[in-house]
Amino acid sequence: MTESATNDNNIQSAMIPTHVAVIMDGNGRWAQTRALPRHAGHRSGVRSVREIVETAAKRGVSYLTLFAFSSENWKRPAEEVSRLMSLFLEALQREVDDLHRNNVRLTFIGAREELQAGLIRKISTAEKKTRNNTGLNLIVAVAYGGRWDIVTAAKNLATKVLNQELSVADIDDTKLAGELALAGVPDPDLLIRTGGEQRVSNFLLWNLAYAELWFCDSLWPEFGERQFDEALSFYASRQRRYGQSGNQFGVA
Ligand code: FPP
């Protein structure tokens, strides 16, 4: 850790998590407490997305993964699902040029084939446009579920075994991780969940194995730079052991 390496929040850069994952919860409740329809909450949530992307980039986070739509969210009322899809499309149309100017590399994870053709096209175009950017890696999980991810990886490994490209004895953590949606991306160091619930809700089940978990009561549309910095401060205060004892880290 270098003493001079500080950011706006005075958290030394060595203490900044490489990868932050976020469960953006509470849009519906935010809207309901204002007597607004739920989609107004999602719309307002896009503002928080923009602020968190900017803050994460400023703080030196390398990867930011946002849970925008889960495998289970398809069970929501058709009108809410349809408005959410329109919102993703609109946000992509509006924000991609700006993200590109800011050197952000945008990728999507999830069962993409379940999405509408127009959205799939926009996603591919955005990914192609930003793929050589070297700043923040923004990963948006849409139609994503942690169990779907592990099942897909297991199927890929089984296919490789059937094709005699791989033997069962060679299957290990690294091989399975290499088939997951986040293959090649370091595991999240910090998981943030807004909206007062303390659950992982089928997000990145494999990858969150050693993540520090930070929960807050703020509803997603209320979440901004200040709360993100609180999560970073919490992270900076944690001692990560990866299953080893405190003594092995020189702490009783
Ligand atoms: C959870 O709140 C939120 C979602 C299911 C959608 C998240 C989507 C956005 C923030 C919009 C845009 C995102 C991007 C990446 C452009 P909830 O509806 O479950 O809230 P509740 O728990 O209060 O009902």
- What spacing in Å lies between the alpha carbon of 101 and ligand 1's midpoint? 26
Specify the DSSP element, H or E, that contains 67. Answer: strand 63-70
Quick check: is 204 in a domain? yes
Integer Cα distance of 28 and 37 in angstroms? 8
Question: Domain span at residue 201?
Answer: 13-145+187-236
**Which residue, 53, 52, 49, is CA-closest to 104?**
53
Spatial neighbors of 14 by CB under 8 A, at least 6 apart, are 1, 2, 5
pLDDT digits (tens, 9 = 90+) for 19-56: 999 999 999 999 999 999 999 999 999 999 999 999 99
Within-domain flag for 243: no
pLDDT at 241: 67
User: Does residue 227 belong to any structural domain of this protein?
Assistant: yes
Average pLDDT, stretch 211-236?
98
Q: Which residue has the tokens 């880290």?
A: 249
Please indicate whether residue 97 is annotated as part of the active site. Answer: no
Amino acid 243: pLDDT: 72
What distance in Å separates the CA atoms of residue 68 and residue 166, rounded to the nearest whole number? 34
How does the average pLDDT of the chain come out, rounded? 93
Establish if 172 belongs to a structural domain.
no
Residue 69: band (very low, low, confident or very high) from pLDDT cuts 50, 70, 90: very high
Domain count, the chain: 1
Q: Of the residues 23, 27, 216, which should be mutated to test ligand 1's pocket, given the most ligand atoms within 8 Å of the CB?
A: 27
**Catalytic: 73?**
yes
Q: Which residues line ligand 1 (CB under 6 A)?
A: 24-29, 42, 45-46, 49, 66, 68-69, 73, 87-88, 91, 140, 195, 220
Sheet with 19-23, strands from edge to edge, namely 105-109, 137-144, 63-70, 19-23, 190-193, 212-215
Answer whether residue 181 is part of any domain. no
> Over 70: is that where the pLDDT of 5 sits?
no
What local confidence, expressed as pLDDT, does residue 148 receive?
98
CATH code of 94's domain: 3.40.1180.10
251 located within any domain: no
